[in-house]
Structure 1
Amino acid sequence: MEKSYSLNRQQFQAISALASHQRYRHFIGRVSDWEFVWGLRNEDGWVTASDNSGNLVSPFWPHPDYATACAGSEWAGNSPASIEIHHFLSRWLPGMEKDGMLAAVFPTPTMQGVIVSPRQLQRDIEEELSHLE
């Protein structure tokens, strides 16, 4: 498994309890630092959902533990899988944009996460990465 940062139970609970926009900023910082984005998948592919308007969304997390916490009910049987950040930026997000999909950034079991366009997510990650280089 790809390297991820250490996360204890207290940190997990504290970050999970943040407001959506704070979790979004946390996501941008962590995936930029560690250069991996996490999704949920099974042998059939990556999980997706629909937002309130019926748009297809792909959920993403900054750490496999947050993804695992959401692998219940409709996503039962799925496991966290990583996506290298540069592949995510160059292939995933443009492909999602082309397919008319949205990104659900850092959903929790009780909150849907921040729904953004792939283009916006790409801009935010690239801006953060530019500060790190």
Structure 2
Amino acid sequence: MLETREFQQFVKAPANTRYEYFIQRVIQSQEVWIVIDQSNHIKMAGDEEDTILVPVWPFKEYAQCCLEEDMYDCKIIAIPLDQFMNEFLIAMKKEGILSSVFWNGFDTTIIEVDQLLFDLNWELSKYRKIH
């Protein structure tokens, strides 16, 4: 469960800080949070250049604060980290879809799948050495 103080500290942090936090926290929790619609399709977004993005968060509470009024019928679900890395991101790469990491309603880190996978694997290797 996410503590209120931690939530408040990171929801307003700069995008690059939230990205680093995302990497660390999903490695610890072993899950990534996404939004799906009532048909169980992943809710996607777009940027100024019409790039298709999949928003992801480290905790359900962060995703909840970003749901818009027209998303009342959507659900926030957790994906196991290994499934996210080995299936989800690979499928996104094939489709040319980027990740929007830890959008807070104002800004986000838009990142290519290869870089996100590299960063997750790097952090995972450090985490495994410690644990």
TM-score by length of 2: 0.92
Distance 1:107 1:48 in 2: 12
| 1:47 alignment partner, SS class | coil
Q: What's the counterpart of residue 66 of structure 2?
A: 70
Deviations 1:23-55 (A, max 9, x none): 000000000111000001122211101111111
Q: What's the counterpart of residue 105 of structure 1?
A: 101
State the Cα RMSD in Å: 1.1
Distance 2:70 2:17 in 1: 26
Q: What's the counterpart of residue 95 of structure 1?
A: 91
After superposition, residues 44-55 of structure 1 pair within 5 angstroms as 44=39, 45-55=41-51
Unaligned segments of structure 2, at least 5 residues: none
Deviations 1:48-106 (A, max 9, x none): 01111111000000000001111123433212101100111110111100001000000
Q: How many residues align?
A: 127
Unaligned segments of structure 1, at least 5 residues: 1-5
Percent identity between the two aligned chains: 28
TM-score by length of 1: 0.90
2:102 paired with 1:117: no
8 Å contact kept, 1:71–1:77 = no
